[in-house]
Structure 1
Amino acid sequence: MKFIETPLKGSYIIEIEHISDHRGFFARSWCEKEFRDHGLNPNLVQCNISFNAKKGTLRGMHYQIKPHEEAKLVRCTNGAIYDVIIDIRPQSSTFKQWFGVELTAKNYKMLYIPEGFAHGFETLEDDTEVFYQMSEFYHSECARGVRWNDPSFHIEWLLTENLIISEKDQNYPYF
């Protein structure tokens, strides 16, 4: 695996390394030792799938607060997403900065999101599926979010019209 640090300290794009032959390829998408060696939280306790029927579905910006902050490893297993993270760690040199990357079923890229980040995505194709590995169990009492279009962050989403957003996500407070 290749670990490519994003402009937001502690978050990484992870690319698999193909071992190919006439049958296709083999690649490792997870290794506790490699994650630990890169200083990433290797404790994954839960996996989630998000299926999104329509292009333009926007989910986010979600996070959990202490004592149940969570790291995430996100991969698009069908279709394509524009995955966005915001550093909401007050002591961080990249506090309130955001980063976005296209994750697709064809590019096999993953995004590692450390604790202290808000996360969301918009689907770029119909029938898009997203697979999450989480370092913490879901705790509804610690679940939080900020608005996807909060002017504090100036996120440049790829799609801006006819978005499909839940009422909950539309009504998160501004940061």
Structure 2
Amino acid sequence: MTKVSMTINGAPVSADVDGQTLLVEFLREDQRLTGTHVGCDTSQCGACVVHVDGKPVKSCTMFAAEADGSEVATIEGQANADGSLNVIQQAFQDHHGLQCGFCTPGMVMSTAALLKDNPKPTVSEVREYLEGNICRCTGYHNIVKAIMAASGQDVSAIAAE
């Protein structure tokens, strides 16, 4: 067992973990933060994206021990302080950027990283950035529209699908 300490969504956490414990398992099973989803176990789908020290990471590709000493942000930490949806979450709701919702946590976390680095992306840049996130329901059109809206750009010319 290895002792790990990190800050998750602003709260300090310490625990003993097996050296083979993936960060996604630690978050879901040990910390009961089940918003981070396991979609493929092979780093292909992006449903497990979290931020580690401000960078998006597929948490199925990282051991919990590798996050020792890090700041980790999950989908549970994305809401506003009063519990209301943040601008990205609200845009996904307003523009129907989700259907079943399975990919949504990873999409929201990826979007947060994109908008931090590129506050006004083009549609092409959004599509390119999301290449590591798979959605099997929406066809991406409304996800892209939601991201453009979250960036504060006019989406009135983007037709609904």
> Bigger relative contact order, structure 1 or 2, given CA contacts below 8 A and separation 6+?
1
Flag the structure with higher strand content: 1
Give the alignment's TM-score, normalised by structure 1. Answer: 0.31
Give the alignment's TM-score, normalised by structure 2. Answer: 0.32
Flag the structure with higher helix content: 2
